[in-house]
Structure 1
Amino acid sequence: MQHRPGRTLGIWAIVLLILGVALNVAAIMLMVKMFKPVYYAGDAMLPTLRDGDELLLKRDPAEVRRGDVIGFTSVAWQRDGVSIGRVVAVEGDHIAYAKGDKTLTLNGQPLDEPYVLGGAPGDPGLSFAVSVPRGRVFVLGDNRGNSADSRYYPELQYGTLAVSDVAGVRVPEENVLLLTLGAVSTVGTLVLPVGIGLGISARVVRRRNAAAVPAGPVWGAVHVEES
């Protein structure tokens, strides 16, 4: 079988184009499925988050831990959309604060909270002592002076939230999975122009080869001389 000029280039062009599209689509689908972008509104999480900041939440976290910044929805708290707060205690923990204390206490020990605005962990001085029930978390804002959080709902399971209300856990920009998906998408994006370039090259090679083939006799034609 005669080898068609540019055929190899054309095959590679198709392979790279398919690969580039597949990598981009896969990365985007996984990012949409696993992560949720949220714009934060308000100042309850100062200084960690400012009004208008964008953060990325990992959906369906396997575990919600102390110190996690979470997005949550709560019908009981009459919140519209996704709210943001910080988990300071999880199931089985005893979290407490008495007006005038320098820190919250977690399981009887002072709780170090370097993220709290102004170093005022109990502002505005609402006292509480809560043993967190199973499957629930105790949530506070980092700006304790202006945060409608677990302290204000003691009649609702001691102010705790169900873990099932957690819409996602904030992930840092250097998250390994996020970086991996970004790298996959970048590779796919870089592959696409290479595939397009090879496709153009294959077409050029075919045209040049067609132009270089000399015209031969027409088979079956009969030449007759007139007398």
Structure 2
Amino acid sequence: MEHRPGRKRGIWAIVLLILGVALNAGAIALMLSRFEVAAFAGDAMLPTLSDGDRVLLKKDPPEVRRGDIVGYDSVAWQRRWLSIGRVVAVEGDHIAYAKGDHTLTLNGQPLDEPYVLGGAPGDPGLSFAVSVPQGRVFVLGDNRGNSEDSRYFPELQYGTLAVSDVTGVGVPEENPLMLALGLTSDVGTLALLVGIGLGIAALVARRKKQPVPAGPVWGAVHIEES
């Protein structure tokens, strides 16, 4: 039995199209389930983040560490929207600052904060000394002169934030999982393009080679030579 022209290319086209859709859909589903893209507004995180910057956050982080940029939603701070800040101390830490100090102190040692705007760790000069309770973190903005953060809520658990209020931890775009998702999406897109190309080639081959009717043609006149 003779195969139709372009049959193999047509089969490969279908396989690649299904593969491409599956890879792209899987990458998008995993991205949406594990990560969130947040738009930052204001200048509280200068110079790290500017107004309008987008931050990639990993949802439901298993751990929140010192130095992490986090997204949080704190009803206790009367904030019903997503805010962005930096964790400077975690449970069990003692974080302190006295007006005029050159650095914050963490557990009695100077805290190196190269990310702080203008190297001014304590602007506008709000002094504090906090032992962070269990299950909570102390959050500050990188622009200490214009950031409404843990310093302004001393009456609420010493200004600390519940870890449960942290909705995501900032991750770099070159994160291994993000790179893997990007590669998966690229492979899926390539499979789609090749599949579409093979599908077009299969259709062209079928139209090009039309089957020749076998046997006598109805209505044809046969003339015998004498």
Query: TM-score of the superposition, structure 1-length normalised?
Result: 0.92
Task: Specify the alignment match of 1:158 in structure 2.
Answer: 158
- Per the TM alignment, residue 206 of structure 1 is displaced from its structure 2 partner at its CA by 2.1
Q: Does 1:145 align with 2:141?
A: no
For residues 152-192 of structure 1, the C-alpha deviation after alignment (integer angstroms, 9 at most, x for no partner) is 11111111111110011111121111111111111111211
Task: Specify the alignment match of 1:21 in structure 2.
Answer: 21
Task: Specify the alignment match of 1:216 in structure 2.
Answer: 215
Structure 1 residue ranges without an equivalent (≥5): none
- Amino-acid identity (%): 79
Task: Specify the alignment match of 1:188 in structure 2.
Answer: 188
Q: Does 1:105 align with 2:86?
A: no
Distance 1:51 1:209 in 2: 61
- Per the TM alignment, residue 208 of structure 1 is displaced from its structure 2 partner at its CA by 2.7
Distance 2:144 2:197 in 1: 58
SS of residue paired to 1:121: coil
Task: Specify the alignment match of 1:169 in structure 2.
Answer: 169
SS of residue paired to 2:52: coil
For residues 105-161 of structure 1, the C-alpha deviation after alignment (integer angstroms, 9 at most, x for no partner) is 101110000001111101111111111111110000011111110011111111111
- Per the TM alignment, residue 216 of structure 1 is displaced from its structure 2 partner at its CA by 2.0
Distance 1:196 1:179 in 2: 26
SS of residue paired to 2:130: strand
Distance 2:40 2:103 in 1: 27
Equivalent pairs, count: 219
Task: Specify the alignment match of 2:125 in structure 1.
Answer: 125
SS of residue paired to 1:86: strand
- Per the TM alignment, residue 5 of structure 1 is displaced from its structure 2 partner at its CA by 2.6
Distance 2:200 2:174 in 1: 38
SS of residue paired to 1:210: coil
SS of residue paired to 2:210: helix
For residues 16-47 of structure 1, the C-alpha deviation after alignment (integer angstroms, 9 at most, x for no partner) is 00001111111111111111111111111111
Structure 2 residue ranges without an equivalent (≥5): none
Distance 1:165 1:201 in 2: 55
SS of residue paired to 2:67: coil
Task: Specify the alignment match of 1:75 in structure 2.
Answer: 75
Structure 1 counterpart of 2:103, one-letter code: T
SS of residue paired to 1:56: strand
SS of residue paired to 1:41: coil
SS of residue paired to 1:134: coil
Task: Specify the alignment match of 2:178 in structure 1.
Answer: 178
TM-align CA RMSD: 1.6
Distance 2:176 2:16 in 1: 26
- Per the TM alignment, residue 218 of structure 1 is displaced from its structure 2 partner at its CA by 6.5
Distance 2:135 2:215 in 1: 85
Query: TM-score of the superposition, structure 2-length normalised?
Result: 0.92
SS of residue paired to 1:58: strand
